[in-house]
Amino acid sequence: MSGLNQEVKEKRKPDFEADPLFVNRWSPRAFRDKEVTHETLMSILEAARWAPSSMNLQPWRFIVARTQEDREKFRSFVMEGNQGWSSKAPVLVLILSETERDGNKIGTHAFDTGTAWGFLSLQAFQKGLITHAMGGIYKDKAKEVLNIPEQFEVQALVALGYQGDKASLPEQLQGREEPSVRRPIVESTFEGSFGKMI
């Protein structure tokens, strides 16, 4: 990837050098009516498979909805604010993390699963797709509807597909359909102790 996309250049200016892959990826809500092939989907999930995890426990799990029937089932636990735009995504992926195994707690389950989600989102972007992760879901209902065992925690629901025209979104979302900015890295990074700028 050679440089920043035009739509990103106007909003995002890295403070230090970073591969454009990281800066160009953002989370649109407008999806095109185009199917994601099985091979493409599995390639995206394959990338997530190779995320690092503590003791190689790989606590992540993915439940995928591709058919109309399955997507409708998933919609039953999506909060109202995410219903309209997410229903147009051809694929939904519920991300879970295993909190314990063989009676032992997995202290890094959320951290490791978050890394797998990051790998998934970057591979999707590299293949020309978009992803938008949602925390706005009813997690207990998702567990009930999808028969998720007790030792798994629901982390997020990801809408995945090809980017569409923002005019297809409700008017209140159209203005938000652009790459978001980030605070400067020096405000997130400390040296030696909390609050001491690097």
Rounded Cα distance between 143 and 135, Å, is: 14
Per-residue pLDDT, 197 = 87
Question: Taking all residues of the chain, what is their mean pLDDT, rounded to a whole number?
Answer: 95
Q: What is the pLDDT of residues 100-124, one digit of tens each?
A: 999 999 999 999 999 999 999 999 9
What is the predicted pLDDT for the residue at 1? 54
Q: Where are the domains of the chain?
A: 28-165
Rounded CA-CA distance 188/198 in Å is 9
Report residues of the chain scoring pLDDT below 50: none
Q: What is the pLDDT of residue 98?
A: 98
DSSP state of 137: B
Q: Residue 2 corresponds to which tokens in the numbers above?
A: 């050679």
Please classify residue 163 by burial: count the beta carbons closer than 10 Å to its beta carbon, then call 0-12 exposed, 13-18 middle and 19+ buried: middle
For 2, residues 6+ apart whose C-beta sits below 8 A from its C-beta are 20
Q: Residue type for 70, please?
A: D
Structure confidence at residue 146 (pLDDT): 98
Joined tokens for residue 159: 């809408």
Task: Tell me the pTM.
Answer: 0.94
The predicted structure's pLDDT at residue 9: 85
**Tokens 């399955």 belong to residue:** 70
Q: If you classify domain 28-165 with CATH, what class do you get? A: alpha beta
